[in-house]
């Protein structure tokens, strides 16, 4: 099969109109390709980092459990060679570098391929949605990441320190641990959504609602929909892993996959819950605007209701009729002032009673 | 398997980034660990309370039906030892102490594990969502509660007094009774939701709608969503129990489980009903605000419509034209007053007819 | 099994915290217990009414088709004895007297138990939701009703007059006829909903929307949700009857059950339709309020737009400048009046054109 | 079975409280009963019309393909006799004359009965929902229509002219052709909905939204819900026909039924689409009202903002202070006019800039 | 079978009331019929274009893989002859020319027929929904397009240049490639929706919301609903292809179909996401209008609140009472000015504090 690699960097669904099975990188260019090989058994452990992908060649038949991790997907031709080395199907190769690919699982005879998204906050606190492909072979796990950061710090630590059962268990347990680390991080992201909703709500209950909050809410709704799009397909994937009869998945790992399934369901439910809360925010905003308008109207009504009648009264005594008896009364002016002050106070009391201020 | 216990108390989903199967307590610290062992057969009954969890060791092989109840989950290392004693899987242990765990069921060869939430109002009338794990073994039921209070008062009474069929029936009937007590209490909680909705509605129909009611409604919607999250997964759990072929579940208990399923469906339907009612509250609030604004506008319009024309009239006779015949009329002033009073009365009648006040 | 009966009358889900299978009446107390026994075969017919439930003892083995109907559920201990006589399971007994029980079906070896709700308008025209339990035995049907009124008038008539196939057919056809009578009455209730919606809509299109209509709509939505809660579970019940292989249900009756299923589907669809219509009422109400506010605003705007400029003009000629040529013009005053009347008419035409009145 | 026929004409679900299987006509009375018999084979064709239903007797065993069409359902006793002749089940007879019956299908050994609704615009352009029952026997198709008009003009033409494959194919193809004609007409109705929505939208975008549009929209929503109620159950009916193993349905006709299923799905999708559009109309109306109110408010605000300050200015120079230097200025009056015109122009520019007019 | 062809060009669902299986073109007339035949094997390649459909006759038994593409569907009689040549079922012929047909799949013994919609932007940038039928025979693929433009440019290029595996693979891979090209183009369309939403949102956050935006949003919602109607049925179609056991679909192609299924799911999810976003736009618009009204009200309230009290004050000193001590004060006039300026500034500060401007 003569597929070839081409670096094509532009925006959107960039692999359109290409031959199917053609491997095209569509992500951001700046990530350096970096190879990391962790080999371990119950008693041994080695960790190698390199820029040279050829270091991974031949590891397909490894006897020790081996985690081959690749950061950065822009060296497409190198990655394709690596894929050839591990006998990956061209469609799998396409999914690995197509960072727009939605989460999916494919079972082949010689490996299982899982595509998913890492969600995390990077060093700068920015929200990142990183494309991740996990290939489970006989004794190895191959991971392809879009960017250099990841959520596997503690997992690496556990392997190097030999904590937990990871060193004893097989490559399938390693894959499980990788998925577990990814899903665990979803909880962090979901929590931050919860906090953001609470912050937005507090903002909305303030007296002076900012006018561009509607934009923020709409933006936020979009965020949640995107997280949802990353989370929901994982249910099916973990479920298929759970019930798969693939020989690389040992029965002992099944309990852990059940647990994983449970977690992803829980994340999904939280996303739905926060989604429903977020949808309510726009209603809250509307009531906020309406309350504000009510307040504006009250100020107007109070001012107008008090001073328009008074202006009428003073207008009366500004008339130039020749015969207006009040004008000649020596205390007329003061009496009128008294009447007007009385009206003023009555009005204030009336509006106070109505609880308008 | 060398899992270890660590007390880590912070907020949120706190067991993140830990080795799977690691037992970490994530709840509140203040609850004292307390052991309660109730052993009974048709004719015997004993009740022991203690702070020492070791009192429960060896009860795995008990011949009498035994309910081992543990309050407080913060003594994690003690609980882990107990779990070892009862040969519980590390993932089960993790679920027991992870108070954020959603309701689930796991069937193992030697026991069935059910995780769920107790919802109740505590001594102070505060709403509590307490984590509860129920382990059904051959002759024993092991329960792990997050807090000291629970909803099992009448169940204990029934065991001690020998009322009902509980003393004759097996440990599976005890588990059923525990679940039944939990679900029965959901009805109380759901009823209080109903009352809260009614109270909110009454508040909303008052003339002067408080402005922070929107916040209360939003808060209330969140409450309902959380109760829903606790209730909905129970359907699947009870259904699985009902159709399970596990040898510890006797066929006689099946009828009771069907009844239980029926109850949980009923609770779920009520929650959905009240949820729909609660979602309508925001609309009610909006209409409340709009009605209020209407009232404000009417006051303004009435005041302005009456006095602006009158002010115009008096303005006319305040003009300084040299020749204005009316000004010289002896009764001009009184005629004008008459006209203005006429306009005033006409306006009042007009607005009365429009039912504006 | 030593269940016992206790009369406990209070509000809400009153059987909480009781031993499962304990028979507790939770309905209203005032209904007298009354027994009615109708025995019939193709040629014979007898009808007995009594206050003494013991008259029904022994009818379990009746050879003639027998309808034993019991009104009023508060004589719980009597009812329990009757239940014992007919070998009913304690959980069935609990469902019979628990008037909060949602519709359900249970198949036992010796009988089929169906719990449902009668919806009808009683003698006073009040809407009634009455709890009804139907037990189909070999040759008998046992019905337990909460109140004295019911919807079976025509059914009794048909049995006594021997009209239709009821006298020839078996007890299963009698049960079918009872369910059919109940479901037929749902149509009447659903129709009254339809009329109520139409009445509310007409009310909403009136110029002056009453402010407490929002409350009525909310109340109405709640009503529909409750009817829905009574109707929806019946689908599953009739479906199960239809596909049940229970020996008491003869294959000839199946066609009738199919017809019944069809009816209950039809009722359900109507309820959903009216529910959707009812949900639209609040929107209608909102537009009503907004239209009204628009009208208020228009009155204000017209009054202000006409008279504020005129007031300005008369104000101009009320100024005391020493040199204002217009004041000295002999016809100045009348010219000004002319201008003002012109402005007034222009304004009226302008607003007429805008169709503001 | 001694069912009897009774003409009972009143509104609503009129067959309530009747013995099941009792044949009661509930439609409008005015339609004359008219019999139409079309017999045809590949080479022969005969068409007979009559008022005498007995003309149809004996056609049950016809060898030629025969379409027996009956218009008008109020001669219930005649229809029942006809039903007896064709050995129809009483429940089928009930469905034929109960014009409130929802669409359904029943398979009997000797015939298949389909109940559905014709939707069309009659000679006067009024929307008609007509009840139609189709009975497929061995060589005959029996149709019962509520009214005299129908949608089968072209079908009759095709049979008489021998166009298409209808003359060659069997009675099942005739039934398919009848259903096809009915469903084809649904497209016409759905199209008219689409046009009505477009008309309503255009109405809503006009400057002066009529106030009773809300009523029209609500009415329209109700229409769509009713069409939906007629269309949706047909899916299941055609699906069942498609997968039925009834001997009267030849395998060759299956492809045509698949096509029919496809059409009914398409109609259903369109109805859902237009329903969603219709639901959006109320929102549109709300924005229309709000835009209108905005316009009203702008007029008020512009008038008030321009003339209230000017009125203040002229008020200043209407004061009677003894010492007001400006009053003595020879050009004071004109200066003030200049200032006021300046303010006026500035205001106009300000509001122009704000794009308020 | 004597179906005949008729050119009938009118609007809407134009094939109504026709004999089923009658082939009627309902699309636009202007598209010229053009035939294109691409034959290829691993080493050979030929490309022929012609106006004469008879060039395609006899290609049914071709040994080389052959793509017969037909643009323009208005030469219905020619197309029917071609269909006869390829032994297509009349119902398939009907679907080919009925451009209103919804996407569907039919498997026949000798071919598989897929009907779907191409969505693309044509040379002029207009959105086009073009009807496309794909017939997979043993060695050929027959495509019928409504218009001359299509989305197959790159596919033709790949065949002619021999890039990718297309020249080696069978006709089923060609069909897959055609479907893939169509679905790939959906991504472009979906992307443009996304951009349109973003553009609309930006428009909505501008200060002065145009009043006819509501119309645009409604129009846009309708667009999305139509795209959805084209996309959603494809899921089922690709799924059926995937699981079909038809001998023309080789097992090697299955992986590609799985990939295709994945893509169509992804398109569907995006459409749903953008649909939800679009539905939120109307809410955004409402808040925009309300914010605008708030602003209008604020201007009015500020102007009125400042100048109405001041007008009252100057009115006081315009009264003509004989004894008003202030009028005689030498600096009275200036004092009053001072007071009024003070009130003015106080008001400004008050509204500034309220953040009203």
In order of their start, the domains of chain E are: 3-288 (3.30.460.20), 297-353 (1.20.58.340)
- Kindly tell me if the per-residue pLDDT of A161 is higher than 70: yes
CB spacing of A316 vs B320 below 8 angstroms = no
**Distance between CA atoms of A303 and A356, rounded to whole angstroms?**
12
Confidence tier at B141 by pLDDT (50, 70, 90): very high
The DSSP letter of residue E124 is: T
Q: How confident is the model over A286-322, as pLDDT tens digits?
A: 888 888 888 899 999 999 999 999 999 999 998 888 8
- Nearest-Cα distance to chain A for E336, in Å, is 16
Chain E residue numbers touching D266 (CB-CB < 8 A): 101-102
Q: Which of B17, B96, B240, B328 to mutate to test the interface with A (most CBs of A within 10 A)?
A: B17
Q: How confident is the model over D151-184, as pLDDT tens digits?
A: 998 899 999 988 778 888 889 999 999 999 999 9
- Top pLDDT among D215 and A184 is at A184
* Residue D49, H or E segment: strand D45-50
3-state SS, A33-55, equals CEEEEEEECCCCEEEEEECCHHH
Task: Kindly list the partner chains of chain C, i.e. chains with 3 or more CB atom pairs below 8 Å.
Answer: B, D
- Kindly tell me if the per-residue pLDDT of C357 is higher than 80: no
Contact A48, A55 (CB under 8 A): yes
CB spacing of D208 vs C355 below 8 angstroms = yes
Confidence tier at E254 by pLDDT (50, 70, 90): confident
- Nearest-Cα distance to chain A for B227, in Å, is 11
- Nearest-Cα distance to chain D for E94, in Å, is 10
What pLDDT shows up at residue B116? 93
- Kindly tell me if the per-residue pLDDT of A325 is higher than 60: yes
- Kindly tell me if the per-residue pLDDT of C28 is higher than 70: no
- Nearest-Cα distance to chain A for B196, in Å, is 19
Contact A98, A92 (CB under 8 A): no
Residue whose structure tokens are 């006819």: E212
- Top pLDDT among B23 and A103 is at A103
User: Which chain A residue lies closest to E327 (C-alpha atoms)?
Assistant: A333
**Distance between CA atoms of A6 and E292, rounded to whole angstroms?**
51
Confidence tier at C220 by pLDDT (50, 70, 90): confident
Query: What tokens appear for C66 in the block?
Result: 């027998």
- Kindly tell me if the per-residue pLDDT of D1 is higher than 80: no
- Among A213-217, C311-315, D305-309, which stretch is predicted with the lowest mean pLDDT? A213-217
CB spacing of D102 vs C269 below 8 angstroms = yes
Q: What's the mean per-residue pLDDT of chain C?
A: 85
Q: What's the mean per-residue pLDDT of chain E?
A: 85
CB spacing of D312 vs E315 below 8 angstroms = no
Task: Kindly list the partner chains of chain E, i.e. chains with 3 or more CB atom pairs below 8 Å.
Answer: A, D
CA E257 vs CA A100, E239, E250: distances in Å: 19, 8, 11
What pLDDT shows up at residue E134? 95
- Kindly tell me if the per-residue pLDDT of E311 is higher than 70: yes
| Average pLDDT estimate for B293-303 | 91
**Distance between CA atoms of D357 and A114, rounded to whole angstroms?**
60
What pLDDT shows up at residue B210? 63
Confidence tier at D16 by pLDDT (50, 70, 90): very low
3-state SS, chain A, equals CCCCEEECCCCCCCCCCCCCCCEEECCCCCCCCEEEEEEECCCCEEEEEECCHHHHCCHHHCCCEEEEEEECCCCHHHHHHHHHHCCCCHHHHHHHHCCCCCCEEEECCCCEEEEEEEEEECCCCCEEEEEEEEEECCCEEEEEECCCCCCCHHHHHHHHHCCCCCCCCCHHHHHHHHHHHHHHHHHHHHHHHHHHHHHHHHHHHCCCCCCCHHHHHHHHHHHHHHHHHHHHHHHHHHHHHHHCCCCCCCHHHHHHHHHHHHHHHHHHHHHHHHHHHHHHHHHHHHHHHHHHHHHHHHHHHHHHHHHHHHHHHHHHCCCCCCCCHHHHCCCHHHHHHHHHHHHHHHHHHHHHHCCCC
**Distance between CA atoms of B227 and B117, rounded to whole angstroms?**
9
The DSSP letter of residue B61 is: G
Integer distance in angstroms from the first to the last C-alpha of chain A?
Answer: 80
- Top pLDDT among D163 and E108 is at E108
User: Which chain D residue lies closest to C273 (C-alpha atoms)?
Assistant: D225
Cα–Cα nearest to B1, from B59, B68, B88: B88
| B273 vs C2, C225, C296: nearest CB | C225
Q: How confident is the model over C336-348, as pLDDT tens digits?
A: 999 999 999 999 9
| Average pLDDT estimate for C135-155 | 91
**Distance between CA atoms of B80 and B82, rounded to whole angstroms?**
5
What pLDDT shows up at residue C172? 92
| Average pLDDT estimate for B298-324 | 90
- Nearest-Cα distance to chain E for A211, in Å, is 7
What pLDDT shows up at residue B13? 42
CA D58 vs CA D33, D54, D68, D69: distances in Å: 19, 9, 12, 15
- Nearest-Cα distance to chain B for C293, in Å, is 6
- Kindly tell me if the per-residue pLDDT of E16 is higher than 70: no
**Distance between CA atoms of C90 and C317, rounded to whole angstroms?**
96
CB spacing of A289 vs E288 below 8 angstroms = no
- Kindly tell me if the per-residue pLDDT of C350 is higher than 60: yes
What pLDDT shows up at residue A29? 60
- Among B205-209, C146-150, E99-103, which stretch is predicted with the lowest mean pLDDT? B205-209
Chain C residue numbers touching B343 (CB-CB < 8 A): none
**Distance between CA atoms of B189 and C52, rounded to whole angstroms?**
40
Percentage of chain B exceeding pLDDT 90: 31
User: Which chain D residue lies closest to E15 (C-alpha atoms)?
Assistant: D184
SS3 state of residue D40: strand
CB pairs under 8 A between A and E: 156
What pLDDT shows up at residue E143? 95
CB pairs under 8 A between A and B: 157
Which distant-in-sequence residues (6+ apart) come within 8 Å of B305 by Cβ? B347, B351, C299, C300, C303
Q: How confident is the model over B192-229, as pLDDT tens digits?
A: 888 888 888 888 877 666 667 888 888 888 888 888 88
What pLDDT shows up at residue E123? 83
CB spacing of A314 vs E312 below 8 angstroms = yes
CB spacing of D318 vs E320 below 8 angstroms = no
Q: What's the mean per-residue pLDDT of chain D?
A: 85
| D314 vs C158, C269, C318: nearest CB | C318
CB spacing of D20 vs C255 below 8 angstroms = no
Chain B residue numbers touching C290 (CB-CB < 8 A): 290
What pLDDT shows up at residue C323? 84
Q: How confident is the model over D77-134, as pLDDT tens digits?
A: 888 899 999 999 888 998 898 888 889 998 888 999 999 999 988 888 788 889 999 9
Contact A320, B324 (CB under 8 A): yes
- Nearest-Cα distance to chain B for A265, in Å, is 9
Task: Kindly list the partner chains of chain A, i.e. chains with 3 or more CB atom pairs below 8 Å.
Answer: B, E
| C318 vs D91, D285, D318: nearest CB | D318
What pLDDT shows up at residue A264? 92
Contact C273, B277 (CB under 8 A): no
| Average pLDDT estimate for E25-39 | 78
Chain D residue numbers touching C300 (CB-CB < 8 A): 300
User: Which chain B residue lies closest to A357 (C-alpha atoms)?
Assistant: B208
What pLDDT shows up at residue C221? 86
User: Which chain D residue lies closest to E286 (C-alpha atoms)?
Assistant: D287
What pLDDT shows up at residue E205? 75
Which distant-in-sequence residues (6+ apart) come within 8 Å of A182 by Cβ? A116, A118, A132, A151
- Top pLDDT among C17 and A278 is at A278
- Nearest-Cα distance to chain C for B111, in Å, is 24
CB spacing of A303 vs E305 below 8 angstroms = yes
* Residue C35, H or E segment: strand C34-40
| D273 vs E18, E229, E336: nearest CB | E229
| A280 vs B20, B221, B307: nearest CB | B221
Chain E residue numbers touching A330 (CB-CB < 8 A): 322-323
**Distance between CA atoms of E22 and E15, rounded to whole angstroms?**
8
What pLDDT shows up at residue D27? 66
Which distant-in-sequence residues (6+ apart) come within 8 Å of A312 by Cβ? B307, B310, B311, B314
Residue whose structure tokens are 């012609």: E50
User: Strands, DSSP E only, in chain B?
Assistant: 6-7, 24-25, 34-40, 45-50, 65-71, 104-107, 112-121, 127-136, 140-145
- Top pLDDT among E163 and C314 is at C314
- Nearest-Cα distance to chain A for E196, in Å, is 14
- Kindly tell me if the per-residue pLDDT of E150 is higher than 80: yes
User: Which chain A residue lies closest to B2 (C-alpha atoms)?
Assistant: A164
CB spacing of A294 vs B297 below 8 angstroms = no
Chain B residue numbers touching A356 (CB-CB < 8 A): 296
Q: How much is the pTM?
A: 0.80
- Kindly tell me if the per-residue pLDDT of D209 is higher than 80: no
Chain E residue numbers touching A2 (CB-CB < 8 A): 163-165
What pLDDT shows up at residue E7? 28
Q: Alpha-carbon dihedral of residues B102, B105, B108, B113, nearest 10 degrees? A: 70
- Kindly tell me if the per-residue pLDDT of E245 is higher than 60: yes
Q: Which of D212, D230, D232, D300 to mutate to test the interface with C (most CBs of C within 10 A)?
A: D300
Q: How confident is the model over E40-89, as pLDDT tens digits?
A: 998 889 999 988 888 888 888 888 899 999 998 888 888 889 999 999 98
CB spacing of E323 vs A332 below 8 angstroms = yes
Indicate whether this complex's ipTM tops 0.90. Answer: no
What pLDDT shows up at residue D210? 63
* Residue C24, H or E segment: strand C23-25
Q: At what angle do helices B76-85 and B90-97 cross, to 10 degrees?
A: 140
| C312 vs D22, D104, D307: nearest CB | D307
CB spacing of C294 vs D299 below 8 angstroms = no
Cα–Cα nearest to B265, from C232, C239, C131, C276: C232
- Nearest-Cα distance to chain B for A175, in Å, is 13
Q: Which of E163, E291, E343, E351 to mutate to test the interface with A (most CBs of A within 10 A)?
A: E291
CB spacing of B208 vs A355 below 8 angstroms = yes
| C300 vs B265, B277, B301: nearest CB | B301
Q: How confident is the model over C242-261, as pLDDT tens digits?
A: 888 899 998 888 888 988 99
| Average pLDDT estimate for B44-73 | 88
Confidence tier at E18 by pLDDT (50, 70, 90): low
| Average pLDDT estimate for E101-129 | 88
CB spacing of A214 vs E205 below 8 angstroms = yes
What pLDDT shows up at residue A9? 28
- Nearest-Cα distance to chain A for B315, in Å, is 6
């Amino acid at each position: 099969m003569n597929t070839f690699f081409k670096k094509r960097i532009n925006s959107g669904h960039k692999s359109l109109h290409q031959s199917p099975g053609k491997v095209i990188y569509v992500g951001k260019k700046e990530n350096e390709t970096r190879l990391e090989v962790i080999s371990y058994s119950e008693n041994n452990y080695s960790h190698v980092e390199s820029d040279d992908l050829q270091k991974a060649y031949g590891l397909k038949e490894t006897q020790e459990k081996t985690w081959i991790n690749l950061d950065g997907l822009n060296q497409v031709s190198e990655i394709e060679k690596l894929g050839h080395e591990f006998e990956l199907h061209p469609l799998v190769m396409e999914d690995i570098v197509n960072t727009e690919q939605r989460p999916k699982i494919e079972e082949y005879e010689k490996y299982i391929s899982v595509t998913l998204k890492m969600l995390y906050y990077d060093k700068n606190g920015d929200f990142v949605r990183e494309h991740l492909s996990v290939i489970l072979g006989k004794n190895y796990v191959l991971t392809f990441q879009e960017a250099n950061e990841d959520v596997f710090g503690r997992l690496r630590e556990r392997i190097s320190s030999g904590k937990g059962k990871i060193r004893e268990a097989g490559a399938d347990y390693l894959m499980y641990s990788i998925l577990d680390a990814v899903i665990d991080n979803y909880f962090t992201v979901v929590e931050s959504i919860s906090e953001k909703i609470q912050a937005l709500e507090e903002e909305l209950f303030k007296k002076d609602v900012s006018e561009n909050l509607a934009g923020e809410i709409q933006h936020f709704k979009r965020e949640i929909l995107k997280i949802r799009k990353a989370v929901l397909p994982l249910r099916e994937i973990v479920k298929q892993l759970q019930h798969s009869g693939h020989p690389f998945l040992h029965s002992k790992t099944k309990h852990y996959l059940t647990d994983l399934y449970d977690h992803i369901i829980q994340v999904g439910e939280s996303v739905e819950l926060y989604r429903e809360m977020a949808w309510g925010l726009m209603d809250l905003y509307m009531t906020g605007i309406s309350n504000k308008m009510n307040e504006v109207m009250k100020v107007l009504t109070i001012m107008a209701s008090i001073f328009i009648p008074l202006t009428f009264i003073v207008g009366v005594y500004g008339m130039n009729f020749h015969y207006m008896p009040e004008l000649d009364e020596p205390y007329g002016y003061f009496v009128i002032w008294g009447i007007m002050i009385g009206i003023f106070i009555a009005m204030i009391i009336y509006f106070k009673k109505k609880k308008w201020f």
